[in-house]
Structure 1
Amino acid sequence: MMETDKMSTASSVGAAERRPLLQALVIERRILFGCTCFTGLCTFLWIAAVCTKKWVHIEGGNGIYNAKTGRYFMSSDTGVWEMCRYVFQPSNNTAPPQLNITGLKGAFQTKCTNYLAPPVVYPKDLAYDINIANYVRTMISFGIISLFVMAMGCGFSMYTFKNPRYMFKRLAAGIHFISTSCTFVVVQVMMSAVEDMKKIEIIYPAKAYHYYNISFFLAWFVVLVNFFAAASFLWYSRKRKGDKAATDELAMADEPTIIGR
């Protein structure tokens, strides 16, 4: 008898009254569908960002001489776990250092440092710093966690279209918020790592300058998309029962339900 009363209450609203609700439902579905598609895309963008060395570029101009290595620092590209420095090695190390490499004979070289490796692997690599390595481990940990959480959030977002009950939208919103937090941590830790790099002459010479590269901005895009998805699913997770629902199906979906064993 109770179920019959619920059905009659949900069906008592006329088509004219529900027309604005149906229009709002169409907009809601489009927004949530767009959020779901973008979060799925962000999963692949996040993989691309983490796997490339285009987060931070440090520029040395025409070369900055380093007395410890006898080389000229040209530039470097830093990723989540590896930094590659581009240096100029003069052919005559006994010559007095110049302001830049103009007129010098030598060869350009690439020196890469993998911060995931233990310190004993690079006993002679002056670019290896234990503080930077700790930053790298933090970024890798949160990067992997956020990848799995993003994939999970995309799956739950798709499930909300099959089951429109409000609790599943709130669950999807919570997962997207966790993805936002994890990816934001990676971005912030990278910015902190750059500040520590400024203290290491071989990595960041005094006259050098840096700018953030494409992978860094891809990471920020992932953060913002996940935040917007979390806010959207949370906003549209309100209960809509009776005459507040656009269809009878939605009205019944938000009615109190006793979950069986």
Structure 2
Amino acid sequence: MKKMSVKSVKRDASTSTLGHDEARKPLMAAYMFQRRVLLGCSVLMALSLIIWIIAIATDRWIIITGGGGIFIPETRRFFMASHSGLWRHCRETKTPNALPNSTVIRNFTSFAFTNVGLVNNAKMNMSHMEFIDDFRYENVTFPLKNFTQEAKKRMFAHWIRNDEPEFQTLKAAFQSLELSSEKSRKALNPSSAKPIAINPLDIQNAKERKTFGNALQEVVVNSTNYNFVIPESGQAAIFENWNKIDQVLNLLWAYFRDLGIPPYVLNENGVVLQLVPPIPPKKQRLAYGYDYVPSTRCKYIDMFSNAKALRNEPAYDDTLLDYIRTQASFACITVFVMSLGSVFSFYTFMNPRYMFKRLAGGIHLVSASTALVVIQVLFASIDYTKEHLFYSYPDGAELTYGFGVYLAWFTFAVNIVCGIMFIWYSGKKKGSKAPTDEIAMADEPTIMGR
């Protein structure tokens, strides 16, 4: 009887253990499924981190195309296309250079030095010429009643030599005597109406209709006749026979700018008259008396430009730079947070405690949020550019998003999904709910000792 009792106890224990293991099989199957899902999420997170780095490194986020070409008055070029990212901007243009033997109307700025370095070098070279010394000592009696030829020569000489006090004195006299009339003020203040495009090939019609008034002048430079459009206020500032001195034509735009004279000409209603060459041909460079020179310029964005640098960069302003700095900052923050999230994702396989899964899931959701900030700020910067920066987003241009934006959206989606999955599978598995005793112990409360 005694032996039978022992065997009976052993049989009961064996049956109980077997039943317990059988009961845990579905829990183990579910647990292994969860591990496979979370392992897939962890690998996907590591992949999305690499994809995010590729996305923020590329300059193919925003692509703007100008079709056959959009003329930009500030640079006298046709905008063809541009593409940019968080750090770099590339712009494709075609510059219509009128051929020497072509009969077209030219803006005086077509020969101008627009680069600050070239202007300063030309001024330095000219400052040592004999005629500049002669101009500096022209007899001018103050206060001026009329802005004479002598005053014009002295003002130009002081500008060339960077004699700031003398130049400012003559500039004030010039503005008071020549730019203070009602007619002059109208010529300096354009209306908000869209500029009127003028065909530079139709010289005869422009002369007969006096489209540009006295601003259209026939000037001989280096034995070649040119039809230049020079604002009347600019003609009042420059001395006689200026066209016979080398490089004066190249410096006129910078000189007029420092005198406060705009490079455009207005009609009687204050609308800007804009010389617009024909649209560049698709394949050949030479057409319509112009040489359309293609160029591509890529540069890294100076995120901390000063006010002086921004004046020479029509593609940006302070507000747009604020957007760009925000994008760049959150892009870097996202890299750091995603790296941290990937580390904790893989660590959950070494330590199955529920809190590490929740931590990894929370970090993934935070990195999704920072990635979304980058995307949303990008869209806000595009809207601002459309409304305020014609140079970067000309009227008639078309916008498309490059693969950088799609990679960013992919990264955001992966972070959201992985964050939700880690939190979803982070429930406590204690006691009979755990597939193994080890996992059950891992999710038990821990008392931290001293």
What TM-score results when the alignment is normalised by the length of structure 1?
Answer: 0.90
Give 2:244's aligned residue: none
Greater RCO (Cα-Cα under 8 Å, separation 6 or more):
1
Q: Contact 1:73–1:88 (CA<8 Å) still a contact in 2? A: yes
Which of residues 227, 235, 240 is equivalent to 2:416?
A: 227
- Which piece of structure 1 moves more, 48-57 or 110-119? 110-119
Which residue does 1:100 correspond to in 2? 279
Letter in 1 for 2:279: N
In the TM superposition, structure 1's runs of 4+ consecutive aligned residues that sit over 4 Å from their partners are none
Secondary structure, in 3 states, of the residue corresponding to 1:14? helix
**2:68 aligned with 1:62, yes or no?**
yes
Whole-angstrom CA distance in 2 between matches of 1:74 and 1:13: 76
Task: Provide Cα deviations, 1:227-257, integer angstroms capped at 9, x if missing partner.
Answer: 1111011001111111111111111111111
> CA–CA distance in 2 between the matches of 1:144 and 1:108?
35
Conserved in 1, the CA contact under 8 Å of 2:81 and 2:93?
yes
Aligned residue in 2 for 1:6? none
The 8 Å contact of residues 64 and 99 in structure 1, kept in 2 or not, is answered as no
Shift of 1:260: 3.2
Rounded Cα–Cα distance in structure 2 between residues aligned with 1:99 and 1:42: 47
What is aligned with 2:402?
A: 213
1:38 aligns with 2:44: yes
d(CA) in 2 for partners of 1:230, 1:161: 16
Alpha-carbon separation, structure 2, partners of 1:251 and 1:12: 19
**3-state secondary structure, aligned to 1:210:** strand
The root-mean-square deviation of aligned C-alpha atoms, in Å, is 1.8
Could you tell me the percent identity over the aligned residues? 41
Residues 17, 99 of structure 1: alpha-carbon distance in 2 compared, 3 angstrom cutoff = farther
Bigger drift between 128-137 and 86-95 goes to 86-95
1:118 alignment counterpart: 305
Q: How many residues get paired?
A: 251
Q: Which has the larger radius of gyration?
A: 2
- Three-state SS of the structure 2 residue aligned to 1:126 is coil
2:24 corresponds in structure 1 to: 18
Contact 1:240 1:250 in 2 (8 A): yes
SS in structure 1 of the partner of residue 295 of structure 2: strand
In structure 1, what is the equivalent of residue 5 of structure 2? Answer: none
Listed one character per residue, the Cα deviations across residues 176-217 of structure 1 (whole Å, up to 9, x for unaligned) are: 111111111001101111111112111101101101110110
Question: Which residue is equivalent to 1:191?
Answer: 379
Matched with 1:5 is none
Provide the C-alpha distance between the structure 1 equivalents of 2:364 and 2:21, rounded to a whole number of angstroms: 35
Deviation at 1:58, TM superposition (A): 0.6
1:117 to partner: Cα distance = 4.1
Structure 2: where are the runs of 5+ without partners?
1-16, 99-104, 107-199, 201-274, 282-286
Q: Which runs of 5+ in 1 are unaligned?
A: 1-10
Q: Distance in 1 between matches of 2:28 and 2:278?
A: 71
**Residue in 1 that maps onto 2:437:** 248
Residue type of the partner of 1:241?
A: K
What residue number does 2:92 align with?
Answer: 86
Structure 1 residue aligned with 2:364: 176
Contact 1:65 1:99 in 2 (8 A): no
Secondary structure in 2 aligned to 1:161?
coil
